[in-house]
Chain A
Amino acid sequence: MITDYRPLLPYLILTLLAIGVAVADTFIKERRTPWLGWVTTAGALLVIAVQWFVPGVMHVELWNGFVRHDAFALGFDLVFLVALALTSLAAASSEHRMKYAGEFYALLTFSTIGLMIVAAAGSLLAVIVGIELSVISLLALSGFAKRELRSAEAALKLFVLGGAASAATFYGASIIYGVLRTTMFGPMSAIVSGPMDVGEMVALWAGLALVLGGIGFKISAAPFHLWAPDVYEGAPSLMVAFLSTASKAGGFAALLRILGDGLGPLAAHWAPVVGMLAALSMIVGNFGAIGQTNLKRLIAYSGIAQAGYILVAVAGLIPGDPSLAVGSVIMYLLLYAFTNVGALLLAQAVKEATGSDEVSALRGLHKRSPMLAFAALMILFSLGGIPPLAGFVGKLYLFAAGWQGAQYVLVVLGAIVSVVALYYYLMVALQVYIRDPADDRRLPVGRSLAVSLAICVIAMLAIGIYPRPAVLLGKDARAGGAAPSQRESVQAAPGRLAV
């Protein structure tokens, strides 16, 4: 039972925010000022402030460890909330053209709540309900551009594949429950560190494989990536901005919670599997991206490759000393939130102005909109991992974590395919800066979207040049082994805000 309700404050604020914007939308007749988008942004920032500065909200365990508000959750929540704030700020620019603006923000916020529960999960049950809340909201959002056939098709693909993935996850969870008779991570880890029968082990692995399949779908790791290019291309760009960053981060939170917290003692068994996913994702993503002519499909394949890089660090997780692996994952996801939201905002801006999201629509962008072209260059460099941008430091930390965990082959493979990645990122940069535009008219960009994009670029540069706060953000976040004692985590507590 709960007697102190402060830890629930973030969830309550977000729930009220979601219901509030959905209801307020029905009363808004005049859409000149995009209040709903601004209010959602402010709400996300408020929750960040509450989590960092209101005592008693974080660093507690609720319901006997069913939910853990530790540094791990704090780090991941920052990623989700940043993505929510950036996305809704940018959406304010096109709010007057949205038919269901209130519902759009409400569903984004619901999805954020689900992801926050995943990050704070102390039990497989909490992970699963969180993921389902997020998936169902995003499923509805992917079909929101109703007048576009491609959006309807994207929603259908997400529905069929996502539904099958979640059914498999539930079935896997049932097997895991049967073998261990609990799905709380603490007891799970205690049971699997003891002796286990071969038959039990096989059943546990079958269950885990199904659950990992569901999570692999969520982070769009190969071979569970097939939905990503189609959904990214068809769904509304603003929703994809959230899907490709926050939702992917939620998948990694689930992965680290289950593998690190719950099944840490079996690391020697699951690390090769994660490593295989990492290698496959890096290869499929990077080679798939070559020759893509659609900007959003390119971003989708690049996202598959990025999931592969992050999985290198996950595979290198050392259960006794997870701080480097977990820290590097959180840091990378944070900078990836800025980078990839930026990339999708770019796609959105170009699409709004030219009606196309082909790479060729970027041709000669530097003449049509120098600021947008600069943002595009920074984003491409950060995705490609070119110093001094954030992507470089982030990738360095990921590979360092992989190296520490003795995943040498993966790190070398990652370094090699990163060079391949440079090729297609630079091909886009070439279009932006070298080629001449088809027409010279200035490219109009919405004000809120421009602000959001500017924040993304500044954050990318800031993390790249001075990464210390972002690195410290993940330092205290430990998954694996025992949960940190309460006193210990309070010391590592508030006042240390990254970025």
Chain B
Amino acid sequence: MTANLTHYLALSAALFGIGLYGVLARRNAIAVLMGIELMLNAANINFLAFWRFLAPNSVEPQVYVLVVLTVAAAEAAVGLAVVLNVYRSFGTVNLDEIARLKG
């Protein structure tokens, strides 16, 4: 028995769905960031699965993965600074309690 491409793709779709749930449903901004990280990981699994099963001699998917990692790191750094800033001003990091701007 071997695992093939569709196994990996199905897994990444499920992981993406779970991450999306984290983004949509969690109140805590940092928990939302974790959901975003899960979605990015799903994208990486996709890229590497396509690389392995469809184009093992191509570099492009690997470059995508590196870019995703960079963006994840940069987004986490800036995002957590934003969250700390909000925490200092509002005393909370719950998204639905931070609503001074009329929606």
Contact flag (A, B; Cβ within 8 A): yes
- Give a binary string over B34-78; 1 marks a CB under 8 Å from any A CB, 0 the rest: 011001101110110010001100101101100110010011001
On whether A177 and B61 interact (CB within 8 A), knowing A136-B74, A156-B86, the answer reads: yes
Does A159 make an interface contact (CB < 8 A)?
Answer: yes
Whether B60 lies near A155 (C-beta < 8 A) is no
Residue among A125, A139, A167, A233 making CB contact with B101, cutoff 8 Å:
A233
Assess the A149–B90 pair: CB atoms within 8 A.
yes
A426 to B98, CA, bound (A): 33
Contacts A125-B63, A174-B50, A175-B46 hold; do A152 and B78 have CB atoms under 8 A apart? Answer: no
Nearest residue, chain A, Cβ from B9: A178
Number of A-B contacts (CB under 8 A): 124
Instruction: Name the one of B29, B42, B50, B100 contacting A149, with C-beta atoms under 8 angstroms.
Output: B100
| A352 proximal to B (CB < 8 A) | no
Q: A167-B43, A171-B42, A177-B60 are in contact. List 20 more A-B contacts (CB 8 A).
A: A125-B64, A152-B86, A153-B90, A153-B100, A156-B82, A156-B86, A156-B95, A159-B82, A163-B33, A167-B19, A170-B39, A174-B46, A174-B50, A174-B61, A177-B47, A178-B9, A181-B50, A181-B55, A182-B60, A229-B103
Asked if residues B46 and A230 are in contact (CB atoms below 8 Å), the reply is no
For A149, what are the chain B residues with a Cβ–Cβ distance below 8 Å? 89-90, 100
- Can you give 13 A-B contacts (C-beta < 8 A)? A139-B79, A152-B86, A152-B90, A153-B99, A157-B101, A160-B29, A164-B36, A170-B39, A171-B42, A174-B43, A177-B61, A178-B50, A230-B103
Beta-carbon nearest neighbor of A173 in chain B: B64
Known contacts A149-B89, A156-B29; A170 and B79 CB within 8 A of each other: no
Are B23 and A155 touching (Cβ within 8 A)? Answer: no
CB contacts under 8 Å to B, within A123-152, are: 125, 128-129, 132, 136, 139-140, 143, 146, 149-150, 152
Contact status B98-A163, CB under 8 Å = no
B64 touches A160 (CB 8 A): no
**Nearest-neighbor residue (CB-CB) of B61 within chain A:** A177
Q: Does B29 lie within 8 Å of A181, measured CB to CB?
A: no
Partner of B46, one of A152, A178, A183, A229: A178
| A146 surroundings in chain B (CB, below 8 A) | 85
- Which of the four size classes fits the interface of chain B? 35 or more
Q: In the complex, how many angstroms separate the beta carbon of B103 from the nearest chain A beta carbon?
A: 7
Task: Verify if A317 is at the interface (C-beta below 8 Å from B).
Answer: no
A181 partner, pick from B36, B43, B54, B100, beta carbons under 8 A: B54
Closest chain A residue, CB of each to CB of B58: A181
CB contact under 8 A between A153 and B46, given known A143-B82, A164-B23, A164-B39: no
* Chain A neighbourhood of B86, CB < 8 A: 152-153, 155-156
Question: Across the interface, which residues of B come within 8 angstroms of A159, CB to CB?
Answer: 29, 75, 78-79, 82-83
Q: How far is the CA of A159 from the CA of B30 in the complex (A)?
A: 11
Q: How many residues of A contact B (CB 8 A)?
A: 38
What CA separation (Å) do A434 and B29 show in the bound complex? 46
- Given A136-B74, A171-B39, A234:B46 Cβ within 8 A: no
Interchain nearest-CB distance for A113 vs B (Å): 15
CB distance from B98 to the nearest CB of A (A): 5
Give the CA-CA distance A228 to B100 in the complex, in Å: 15
Q: CB distance B90 to A177 under 8 Å?
A: no
The smallest beta-carbon distance between B81 and chain A, in angstroms, is 8
Closest B residue, CB atoms, query A136? B74
Given contacts A139-B78, A174-B50, contact A152 B23 (CB under 8 A): no
Contact A177 B64 (CB under 8 A): yes
A residues within 8 A CB of B63?
Answer: 125
Most buried by A among B46, B58, B63, B95: B46
A129 to B35, CA, bound (A): 21
